[in-house]
Structure 1
């Protein structure tokens, strides 16, 4: 476990070329005083990286040392990557049933999409619950939710200490903004995790508006995955934009449209305590942008459950990790973007999204916890 709360990160000196490249990248787009430059900015060739120093204006987030190869995630593993994703967990019996479901699926890692204990001062107890169910060294990889980002229902700085990064090669601010290639060598998936739309301890939201440093960081991470010919790109965050749930476009239309324009394969969110999965969406003729609160048929690229790689983006809210359920709004104007959903008032369930990626195919399915029956499945395949 790393040092006491608030410890600053040690920063290794960067090569001169990397410093010059990172400086040029940020010229002309400096953030306001409350929005420091993000850490770990990649370029298309990934030859540059920005400083990972935490500033007084940024939540102090601890970057754990790369622990080396973890069980089930290595360059020598079979050519598939298997992970789960869920947010909005809590510490009750339903949360424990979902963790039991994850354990039974035996994934190589799990993406925790924010909102963990829902109780201040319970971080260690939450971490112990996860470790008991999944194993002390299991890669349960965190991105903050709004309940721990500002410390009022737990503190992300404490969660990243007791559930540290277990994946080799992670770059960025673990817990807030980071990416990792899995496996580290000859990767099949780049996972990019960001934190738009939620307040931190200074009361400010991180800026993911168009051409902001964090928007550019995310865009560069996506572009670099394509430059490396990594088969699949998955972006995760706590907040959604497209939504038929309690919360609307919290993540912001700028970030959302950039991910669709770049044809990210899969975008994962929580925040709404429900499951919501869209059709495959794409920009093009008749759909220059997704507009929150409206529907455009021209933005729907594929409406069945078998989709083509590179044709568009699927959004999946997987917020059924164990906290109390939210209803879905079946009269919402955006509902025609969605293929299926589960919430308090329709096919109520708890469970996790289960994803397996091979070089040519990504298979995803919602797996219900014991006592629930709702299911969903879809594929994205190179054709």
Structure 2
């Protein structure tokens, strides 16, 4: 691989905050969303006094960054040492944090152009990030080599993880070229201070666990920074290692920020999948091979968080750009160009020198380049249109049968969200906060599905481990025996000691260092025995075991020869909060094997580590020989201790030893599987039946069913396999989902299973008794009576709709009648609606006829005498019928005289005719009129 100029340095800038200082390596949890911040990145700095660097630094001043992180390739000039270079840089920008490139660590030939004391950079560009850092498995100071920090310190929204794959002589132990050379084909081993990050080695696993830990804490963004590359359309091979790169992509790290190439390269979004991209590969020369099946987003400028990883290579600081794309150094790099959405090098139009700015908030990372030329790139990562759920639970390491509270949150999409849970054991629940218990020791895949208000769906998968007796160990143990752990292949360690027969590594059941021939003693165990968080699996092999019916072979002893005052480097190297701590050492053995020389094949050495004691996570010291106990711990091979009888003539250990308990019965609590209830859903008042099965190696002593509605649990016999229940209420909701928990007990304790039942509220029954008068007249007061009953609650209110378009009357739940006056005639349907305490409604109706009022009706009973003579008194009698009050009566006698005005109650009138005109006789028409508010009615005779 061509490297005509210095390799890259990456710079990172973040806005200034003030936070508490680092305390004992403990990082505050992510409990709430914090404000956003920004950082900038670039690479290949070299001399800080040349004009290009001065221009870039001035441009950075304009952008006003407050924090920088350099990832290697600082001075390139042996005469400008780390302290001098850092002083020059800090004269422009005071705070700079670092990771190395090859040219900073020494070990190359004298003509390579490098400085030779990386510690001068570590001291000159001292740590001043303002947040705690957590160390990788590094001997000595981890700063500047392998570490991570969460930002901000309180409620962080991003984790920055810094790795140093294939950086030769990072620890400074190698002094002779070419064995320290970084050229292809030269060794990268611990002997030369080089970390390969091979699959499942110590450093690889630390990075993987740091990523998983960030996700489990709800930290939204994970950014991994390295110096070396994998994909490149400029000059590089996959020098960081294809297994390490695949792990980052498999875990969907949001950003992989790198340098090494003197160019700008922004990838499309990459992800692995079982069909088209199970893993990314390299060719025989170490170059990444393009596979279109690994591309999940074409890189138009808007990526979605959680879909995959984006690689950004920014080595375009120094004035020596490489070619990119068709102008790349090698045909293999040309073939990798389709992995990238944007490329800039010496062969692209508008190229320039500078850096990239990243602005991070809880919902997005917005990125903008700042180069001296016209080339510009801009892109974003956002939570996207699809909701991204996140699950947490408490306790983090639950016990079998213990109630676990699960809490779901989501970002992205459009809130509010609804949540559905699959607990991985065949049961589930709905809601943002739910509870569940597990009945067996195992790993369970908990799936949280979030649906947003636009019905878009996103899922999250988390692993919960059951079975650890120590709440600091989130692993599920593999139940085993001493003989299965250490194996049956023996070896005599000392020819002069007949009893020095111990277990050989080759026969062990947990060969985490890989297969080895007989007599081997591997020293490349994939985790530190002092680690507070060992991995649960290595290469698919469980690391955490549980052994039953063992006893200590010698009393426990405080190992005063192994005392210390600070944590191991694998745990951050901070000072112990409780002063000096020592390991506690002992062996556990199979009590049935007491005769040597074979007895050592039935024993295993164990240690309660001093780091665990300091952190408060150590178990109590187990009892002296004689008491049977069950134990848990992590399997370890100590290559330095196999030639000691106190170590059972073997390297096998339980270290760290995590927990013990008095020996338990072989009987396990029952396993309960609960079927879906019937009917489901059901109405209140309906009999609900749930059936279940119980598996147990011992007699079931009793079964209880908690129906989840606050009523007393049903207590059933041990043979019961079903139960019934009637739900009385849904509370203040029209429907409610209840969790039904069935618990069976045997001599080992209880075991539970759950299901859910949806219950619907029954509506109230409304009866309209009467309405009167009916029919009624316009403006007449109408009274209606009614009643309502609720079968599963109480009536909260009534609404009366009189059917004439007027606003319905709202009445309290105690009302039994209502009144109304109609303003027009017609036939009307009156509706009474009752609402109960759950919001359910029920209605009743009745009809009402309303008539318009009529004028009075007049009936003339008689006129006497008839005929009559002039001068005689004539009497007219009559009756008036009226639905409204009569206001007046008038009688017109038909002879031209003024009509008589009578009282409204009159029933007769008299008159004297004076003349018949020029006739002997004359017939007169008598008209009697009555008036009310509706008008006038009359009759004539």
Same-fold call, TM cutoff 0.5: yes
Shift of 1:163: 0.8
- Per the normalisation by structure 2, the TM-score is 0.32
Alignment partners' CA distance in 1, 2:310 and 2:15: 29
1:374 equivalent to 2:375? Answer: yes
- The alignment status of 1:128 with 2:87, answered yes or no, reads yes
Cα separation, 2, equivalents of 1:218 and 1:309: 20
Quote the residue 1:143 is aligned against.
Answer: 99
In structure 1, what is the Cα distance between the partners aligned to 2:54 and 2:260?
19
User: CA separation of 1:89/1:151 partners in 2, compared to 1, >3 Å: closer, same or farther?
Assistant: farther
In the alignment, which residue of structure 1 is the partner of 2:587?
none
Task: Determine the structure 2 residue equivalent to 1:220.
Answer: 209
Identify unmatched segments of 5+ residues in structure 2.
1-13, 21-32, 109-113, 136-141, 175-179, 181-191, 283-287, 385-941
- Choose 167-176 or 74-83, whichever is displaced more: 74-83
CA distance in 2, matches of 1:378, 1:365: 7
Instruction: Report what 2:295 is aligned to.
Output: 300
Q: 1:251 aligns with which of 231, 240, 258?
A: 240
Q: Can you list the C-alpha shifts for 1:310-340, whole angstroms capped at 9, x where unaligned? A: 0000001110122522222425111100011
**1: distance between equivalents of 2:65 and 2:143?**
20
4+ runs of 1 displaced by more than 6 Å? none
Partner of 2:358: 355
Q: Which residue of 1 aligns with 2:338?
A: 336
> Residue 124 of structure 1: CA displacement?
2.9
Q: Which structure shows the bigger proportion of residues in helix conformation?
A: 1
Cα distance between partner residues in 2 of 1:259 and 1:228: 18
Are 1:319 and 2:315 an aligned pair? Answer: yes
Decide whether the 8 Å contact of 2:222 with 2:253 is kept in 1: yes
**Are the aligned partners of 1:81 and 1:357 in contact in 2 as well (CA < 8 Å)?**
yes
Measure, in 2, the Cα distance between the counterparts of 1:313 and 1:75.
30
Mapped partners of 2:268, 2:205: distance in 1: 26
Structure 1 residue 286 corresponds to structure 2 residue 276: yes
Which structure has the highest strand share of the two?
A: 2
Measured after TM superposition, the shift of residue 355 of structure 1 is 0.4
**Aligned partner (choices 59, 72, 90) of residue 114 of structure 1:** 72
Shift of 1:157: 1.1
Counterpart mapping for 1:48-87 below 5 A: 72-74=16-18, 79-87=35-43
Q: Deviations over 1:236-264 (max 9, x none)?
A: 01111000112211111011000000000
User: Cα distance, 1:102 vs. partner?
Assistant: 1.9
Deviation at 1:151, TM superposition (A): 5.9
The alignment status of 1:157 with 2:119, answered yes or no, reads yes
C-alpha distance in 2 between matches for 1:150 and 1:222: 30
Contact kept? 1:85, 1:113, Cα under 8 Å: no
Distance 2:217 2:319 in 1: 38
- Tell me how far 1:132 sits from its aligned partner: 2.0
Q: Is the 8 A contact 1:88 1:323 kept in 2?
A: no
- CA distance in 2 between partners of 1:188 and 1:74 (Å): 16
- Of 280-289 and 125-134, more deviation after overlay is shown by 125-134
Distance 2:336 2:252 in 1: 20
Q: Which has the larger radius of gyration?
A: 2
Structure 1: segments with no counterpart, 5+ residues = 1-69
What is the CA deviation profile of residues 29-50 of structure 1, one whole-angstrom value per residue up to 9, with x for unaligned ones? xxxxxxxxxxxxxxxxxxxxxx
Alpha-carbon shift at residue 96 of structure 1 (Å): 2.2
Is the deviation greater in 155-164 or in 350-359?
Answer: 155-164
CA contact (8 A) 2:107 2:168 kept: no
| Bigger relative contact order (CA 8 A; separation at least 6) | 1
Separation in structure 2 between the aligned mates of residue 234 and residue 279 of structure 1, nearest angstrom: 16
Taking the aligned partners of 2:259 and 2:354, their CA distance within structure 1 comes to 12
Q: Do structure 1's residue 345 and structure 2's residue 347 form an aligned pair?
A: yes
